Structure 1
Amino acid sequence: MLYLTMVVAFIASIILTPLVKRIAFRLGAVDRPNFRKVHAKVMPRLGGLAIFGSFLIGYFILRPSEPVFGSAEAGIIPLDLAILIGAFLIIITGVLDDIYEITAKAKLLGQFLAASIITIGGGLEISFINLPFGGELDFGYFSIPLTLLWIIGITNAINLIDGLDGLATGVSSIALLTLSVMAFIMGDVFVMSLTALLAASSLGFLFYNFYPAKIFLGDTGALFLGFMISVFALMGFKNVTIVALIIPIIMLGVPISDTFFAIVRRLREKQPLAAADKSHLHHCLLNIGFSHSQTVLIIYGVAILFGLAALLFSQATLWGGILLISLMLIAIELFVEVVGLAGKNYRPLINLVKMIGK
């Protein structure tokens, strides 16, 4: 039944996207070129509506069983209902921004309300973790703030990488498929089903969003995907060991690392954290000579490696996990150094990578 519903969601996304495209033009929800954009013509936004609509179609056909980790203890409403309400609030926030370009504070308020529905309404929170060498760390009053920070942080991380055709959609699809496999391993049918449905909806939209894109995700789509990924990742790894809690961080390595370096860069340059720039990973790869599609495919490859690493990490022993994290941190540092230096000193390296890509 799940596979059939995934096909339905995939086809629904392909059908809905052209309709959303026309609606975007009529509402004036368009992205106009400027100094930091890589597109040269006016593009429709609101693409996330197609993903949201096809996901809802799949959800109401499948009607997945209640979540394993739910709100029976502390939540006010069922967790599945809280997820739908939170997603709707995020969609409203994104639509308003795509049409009217609301302020960063207004967007943050919408994200905070949606995240609050999940934590306070649905009862989903990081309340404690078991330490690797014994003992337990109870977050107490900090559990809800930490959960809110996670949801809002991942939501914005996906939004920040939405700078090239198909980039955020593809990276999100890879993360969702990884989450689905992880949920299958853990026996969590609810998370497995919803992540698979959302991945199918995103892949259907990718037909129109990959380079050269016919429609953009817009904040509607980027915020929605980031929000849902943050919630699903949290559902599978709350109240567990500190090692297992690292799994979703590894899984979302591309947006998290890009966001981390963006924050460091803006603090160093004494710029506001919300300030826009052209120094994200995809900008750097473009600047050193890779084409639009090559850049996107390279980042897809990195995202797949992070996903595979997360799967390996979930099956590793404690010391194996620590070793894997150490190797990943070294790999990230080397990648950043190579990207930073390639444009200045390593043109032969770039040409070699291009030849391999061909």
Structure 2
Amino acid sequence: MHSEVAQLFRYSLGFIAAISFVACLCIIALAQVFPWLCGRRDDENAVQSMHSRPTPRIGGVAIFFTLALGVVFAPTTIVQSYLGVIIATTLLFLVGLSEDLGFRVSPRRRLLAVCVASLVVIVLLGVWLPRISMPYFDLLMQYWIVGVPFTLLITAGVANGFNLIDGVNGLAALTAIGASVSIALISLQAGYDTMAMVSMMLAAVIFGFFLVNFPFGIIFLGDAGAYTIGFVLSWFGIAVLIDSSQVSAWAILLTLFWPLADTVFAIYRRSRSKKDAMAPDRLHFHQLVMRGLEICILGRKRRRIANPLTTLVLAPFVIAPQVCGVLLWDHNRAAFFTVLAFLAVFIASYLVAVPAIRACRQRPQEA
């Protein structure tokens, strides 16, 4: 099977990335003719906005189109399962696209769409998250009354997490490429070659978009793209756990650590300040890093530089957990404690960054 993987690398992946790349360029060209493809006019003024010019937000169309086309390239043994995931993703994609085109869809309704899409996968394929690699509790996961709610929680968390980190050029795409490659490598080590192929297909799809999105941000993933990528990645991770009993669920979590950590910490942060858990803000880690670069290093009117530079600064922090997930794919206890270690680093870094940025902001006033 390894020769089959090599052949897919040689012929299909470049073609898939090229399709995604060209589709993004076509969307950008269409946006010049149809400005409404850039979404609502007030998007640049939103509290969480990190851009100042109208930009097409429907990069998710290129992502979804190329993913759907991937049915042609998927290994025959999993075409039916792959098609089931694509069918379920269609609902989520359409809901996200509605938001991207200016039809207001609340965050709760988008999360509901993720849950409904996951239920479609569960019904079509008859599977759910098989375990979370915790003694005793895993025995309960085989029962749908426990396993299905956990599946909905995890898939919604990952999909929403990618939407939350889709704020600076290239960050969500880079995270998704790293997660796809990591899941592919874990699959290869576990002997699940077909999932390795499909995961690398997803990486190629996102790479085509990344080439257009980074560093200048001339097209965005939008909700349709971010939710689609997060949803598909979460189900790819579940598929690996279903097929390979030796793979640690904590290792899979490490491949998706950054969006999940940002989501969990955002919920905690907002609940502590008695705000709506779904309310947008400007306190995500990538937003703090970008403002820190502007205030402490580059200057306030250098956002076009600070934005892509934020992705480069955060890249090691995003990739490090994914590398550990690959290395610890079958070491459950080590993977668990590695998740805790990265979570501690994430929280500590956040707590250090906030006062450091405030100190930089006050320096000119003191002078």
Alignment of 1:36-185 (within 5 A): 36=47, 37-60=49-72, 62-67=73-78, 78-99=80-101, 100-128=103-131, 131=134, 137-139=139-141, 140=143, 141-185=145-189
**Alpha-carbon deviations, 1:232-282, whole Å to 9, x = none?**
011112487798111122111111111111001110111111100000001
Q: 1:128, 1:240 within 8 Å by CA — same for their partners in 2?
A: no
Distance 1:241 1:263, change over 3 A: farther
Give, in whole Å, the separation in 1 of the partners of 2:119 and 2:201. Answer: 24
Q: 2:88, 2:118 within 8 Å by CA — same for their partners in 1?
A: yes
Q: SS in structure 1 opposite 2:66?
A: helix
Q: SS in structure 2 opposite 1:310?
A: helix
**Residue in structure 2 matched with residue 29 of structure 1 by the alignment:** 37
User: What is the Cα deviation at residue 83 of structure 1?
Assistant: 0.7
**Alpha-carbon deviations, 1:207-244, whole Å to 9, x = none?**
21112111111111101101111110111124877981
Give, in whole Å, the separation in 1 of the partners of 2:232 and 2:309. Answer: 27
Unmatched runs of 5 consecutive residues or more in structure 2: 1-6, 295-305, 362-367
Give, in whole Å, the separation in 2 of the partners of 1:327 and 1:151. Answer: 23
Deviates more, 1:192-201 or 1:78-87: 78-87
Deviates more, 1:264-273 or 1:93-102: 93-102
User: What is the Cα deviation at residue 187 of structure 1?
Assistant: 1.6
Residues 1:302 and 2:317 aligned together? yes
Give, in whole Å, the separation in 2 of the partners of 1:135 and 1:273. Answer: 28
Give, in whole Å, the separation in 1 of the partners of 2:335 and 2:231. Answer: 27
Identical counterparts, % of pairs: 25
**Residue in structure 2 matched with residue 355 of structure 1 by the alignment:** none
User: What is the Cα deviation at residue 117 of structure 1?
Assistant: 1.1
Which amino acid in structure 1 is aligned with residue 14 of structure 2?
Answer: V
User: What is the Cα deviation at residue 2 of structure 1?
Assistant: 1.0
Q: SS in structure 1 opposite 2:52?
A: coil
Give, in whole Å, the separation in 1 of the partners of 2:150 and 2:163. Answer: 20
Q: 2:84, 2:121 within 8 Å by CA — same for their partners in 1?
A: yes
**Alpha-carbon deviations, 1:68-121, whole Å to 9, x = none?**
xx9xxxxxxx43231120122222122111112323343233222211111122
**Residue in structure 2 matched with residue 351 of structure 1 by the alignment:** none
Give, in whole Å, the separation in 1 of the partners of 2:58 and 2:46. Answer: 22
Q: 1:131, 1:241 within 8 Å by CA — same for their partners in 2?
A: no
Deviates more, 1:167-176 or 1:120-129: 120-129
Residues 1:337 and 2:351 aligned together? yes
- Equivalent of 2:328, from 307, 313, 319? 313
User: What is the Cα deviation at residue 287 of structure 1?
Assistant: 2.1
Distance 1:239 1:336, change over 3 A: farther
Give, in whole Å, the separation in 2 of the partners of 1:239 and 1:126. Answer: 11
TM-score w.r.t. structure 1 length? 0.85
Residues 1:292 and 2:307 aligned together? yes
Residues 1:278 and 2:282 aligned together? yes
Q: 1:2, 1:193 within 8 Å by CA — same for their partners in 2?
A: yes
Distance 1:270 1:337, change over 3 A: closer
Q: 1:79, 1:123 within 8 Å by CA — same for their partners in 2?
A: no
Which amino acid in structure 2 is aligned with residue 34 of structure 1?
Answer: N
Which amino acid in structure 2 is aligned with residue 83 of structure 1?
Answer: V
Larger fraction in helix = 2
Q: SS in structure 1 opposite 2:248?
A: helix
Distance 1:229 1:24, change over 3 A: farther
Distance 1:219 1:135, change over 3 A: closer
User: What is the Cα deviation at residue 145 of structure 1?
Assistant: 1.2
Give, in whole Å, the separation in 2 of the partners of 1:128 and 1:310. Answer: 17
Give, in whole Å, the separation in 1 of the partners of 2:153 and 2:340. Answer: 25
Deviates more, 1:221-230 or 1:165-174: 165-174
Q: 1:130, 1:241 within 8 Å by CA — same for their partners in 2?
A: no
Give, in whole Å, the separation in 2 of the partners of 1:17 and 1:153. Answer: 27
Q: SS in structure 1 opposite 2:328?
A: helix
Q: SS in structure 1 opposite 2:139?
A: strand
Unmatched runs of 5 consecutive residues or more in structure 1: 71-77, 348-358
Q: 2:74, 2:197 within 8 Å by CA — same for their partners in 1?
A: no
Q: 2:184, 2:200 within 8 Å by CA — same for their partners in 1?
A: yes
Give, in whole Å, the separation in 2 of the partners of 1:226 and 1:295. Answer: 21
Give, in whole Å, the separation in 2 of the partners of 1:322 and 1:18. Answer: 42
Give, in whole Å, the separation in 1 of the partners of 2:115 and 2:339. Answer: 31
Q: 2:89, 2:231 within 8 Å by CA — same for their partners in 1?
A: yes
Give, in whole Å, the separation in 2 of the partners of 1:82 and 1:127. Answer: 18
Deviates more, 1:257-266 or 1:12-21: 12-21
Distance 1:241 1:344, change over 3 A: farther
User: What is the Cα deviation at residue 7 of structure 1?
Assistant: 0.6
User: What is the Cα deviation at residue 129 of structure 1?
Assistant: 5.8
Give, in whole Å, the separation in 2 of the partners of 1:164 and 1:103. Answer: 22
